[in-house]
Amino acid sequence: MGRTVKSQTDSRQTALLFGLGYTARALLSPLRQRGYHIIGTVRTKDKARELSEVLDVDTVVFNGQVSSELKAAISNSHIIVSSVPPSDNNDDPVISALPELASMAAKCEWAGYLSATSVYGDRAGQWAFEDELLRPATQRGRNRVEAELAWLETGLPVHIFRLAGIYGPKLFGQARNTFSRLEMGTAKAIIKPDHVVNRIHVEDIATALIASLECPNPCQVYNIADGHPAPPQDVLDFAADLIGEPRAPKFTLENADISAMARSFYSETKRIDISRAKRELGWVPSFGNYRVGLCEIYRERFGKDAFLLAGHILVPDADLEAVHRELPKHRAATLAETGCLRFDVYPDLQNKNKFHVFEVFTSEAAFRVHKQRMEGTDWVKASANVERFYTVRKA
């Protein structure tokens, strides 16, 4: 045990989180905002003590053995969320240890099991919908199917969430994004024609679960992704350009030196449809594509008030000479502004009309000052006809 769990006289409702990993940590703040007392499970006593302090939650040790503390937490829980993956024995650790979970959790009004889109198997790049026949191609996909069934068969008011690949910022010491691998020089771009990957920002998972909590529909299954699958090499290239690091080296799948586990992710490709979650839960991802999500993660490096603009411009042939002539002066003048933290505009190596743009200012107000300074300048005249394609993130 970590911190002492709440007493029976505490009037708040309790949320029990099986597994205090990365995704569960994104749930802590929205659950607290709704007044829930939170209990989370961890595997060891040392971890219980550490996370009780770091996450400011009550903790219970659960490593397959059911303690009296865990039984008490279950009996007092109004909502239950499990992000615990299937074990090496191909079963769900929670259900295997707690076959009578439903009778123990008499107060439970809503339960959520966090599954994965690997249950669909290969769809040859087509869209995957929740009610389709599941044809998992990997063992981890088959394990997820079995775990979903085990949770649904408990008799609890269970909701299944099939999550795409999770990414996001640092949460209580944990992060999931490509920036660190790029900065360490360990990132690899594996090229497989027509292969796309589905993603979901961790904060959008939390909002989806809260939306379901507020609009329960037991036994329903929801796909949770951003709805804009993309080739993995595109994501890596954008992330590298965004933080100013060299792009990751590219390999064909046949020539790539990667683990069998990593290689298995290229054995299937699909596009995850999220129309049910949007329609039934009124849920819309705040980070609707990888560009928006990565820009927000990068923006936060500069402070909570920072203003970021990233993307590219397309310059007509007739204006190329003027743009090249005025760009160095425009860049020097912008970098001299007090509120400018970064300003990079440079031509694409493959397309002479395309220029990449990355701008960071201390605040939106500083960006407005920048816009005002540009009024009537030669740069504005030279770039009057360019097409602009920007992702903007601000406080």
Q: Is 374 helix (H, G, I), strand (E, B) or coil?
A: helix
Q: Is residue 252 part of a domain?
A: no
- Within this chain, do residues 205 and 80 fall inside the same structural domain, yes or no? yes
Q: Is residue 35 part of a domain?
A: yes
Q: In sequence order, which ranges of 344-386 are alpha helices (DSSP H)?
A: 364-374, 378-382
As a whole number of angstroms, the distance between CA 123 and CA 263 comes to 17
pLDDT at res. 261: 85
What digits encode the pLDDT tens for the residues 30-65? 999 999 999 999 999 999 999 999 999 999 999 999
Q: Is residue 31 part of a domain?
A: yes
As a whole number of angstroms, the distance between CA 27 and CA 206 comes to 5
CATH code: domain of residue 18 = 3.40.50.720
Q: Is 315 helix (H, G, I), strand (E, B) or coil?
A: coil
As a whole number of angstroms, the distance between CA 158 and CA 108 comes to 10
Q: Is residue 389 part of a domain?
A: yes
pLDDT at res. 5: 53
**Percent residues over pLDDT 90 in the chain:** 91
Q: Which domain holds residue 29?
A: 14-177+199-229+269-287
Q: Is residue 376 part of a domain?
A: yes
Mean pLDDT of 123-152: 96
pLDDT at res. 7: 45
**Percent residues over pLDDT 70 in the chain:** 97
Mean pLDDT of 203-232: 98
What digits encode the pLDDT tens for the residues 174-193? 889 999 999 999 999 999 99
- Within this chain, do residues 280 and 349 fall inside the same structural domain, yes or no? no
Among 340, 344, 263, CA closest to 306: 340
Q: In sequence order, which ranges of 89-136 are alpha helices (DSSP H)?
A: 93-97, 101-104
- Within this chain, do residues 344 and 283 fall inside the same structural domain, yes or no? no
Helices 22-33 and 202-214: crossing angle, nearest 10°? Answer: 50
Q: What is the largest CA-CA distance in the chain?
A: 76
As a whole number of angstroms, the distance between CA 332 and CA 267 comes to 48
As a whole number of angstroms, the distance between CA 296 and CA 281 comes to 24
pLDDT at res. 2: 60
As a whole number of angstroms, the distance between CA 88 and CA 57 comes to 28
pLDDT at res. 8: 46
Q: Is residue 82 part of a domain?
A: yes
Q: Is residue 126 part of a domain?
A: yes
What digits encode the pLDDT tens for the residues 79-116? 999 999 998 777 999 999 999 999 999 999 999 999 99
Q: Is the pLDDT of residue 138 over 60?
A: yes
Contact 121, 175 (CB under 8 A): no
- Within this chain, do residues 29 and 153 fall inside the same structural domain, yes or no? yes
- Within this chain, do residues 277 and 321 fall inside the same structural domain, yes or no? no
pLDDT at res. 10: 58
- Within this chain, do residues 151 and 104 fall inside the same structural domain, yes or no? yes
Contact 211, 278 (CB under 8 A): no
As a whole number of angstroms, the distance between CA 90 and CA 378 comes to 66
What digits encode the pLDDT tens for the residues 272-297? 999 999 999 999 999 999 999 999 99
Contact 108, 44 (CB under 8 A): no
Over the chain, what is the mean pLDDT?
A: 95
- For residues 264-299, b (16+ Cβ closer than 10 Å) or e, as one string? bbbebbbbbbbebbbeebebebebebbbbbbbbbbb
- Within this chain, do residues 277 and 343 fall inside the same structural domain, yes or no? no
Number of domains the chain is built from: 2
Domain termination residue (choose one: 287, 314, 334):
287
As a whole number of angstroms, the distance between CA 224 and CA 313 comes to 32
Q: Is residue 234 part of a domain?
A: no
Q: In sequence order, which ranges of the chain are alpha helices (DSSP H)?
A: 22-33, 45-55, 68-75, 93-97, 101-104, 139-152, 179-184, 202-214, 232-243, 260-264, 275-281, 290-299, 320-335, 364-374, 378-382
pTM over 0.85: yes
As a whole number of angstroms, the distance between CA 233 and CA 178 comes to 11
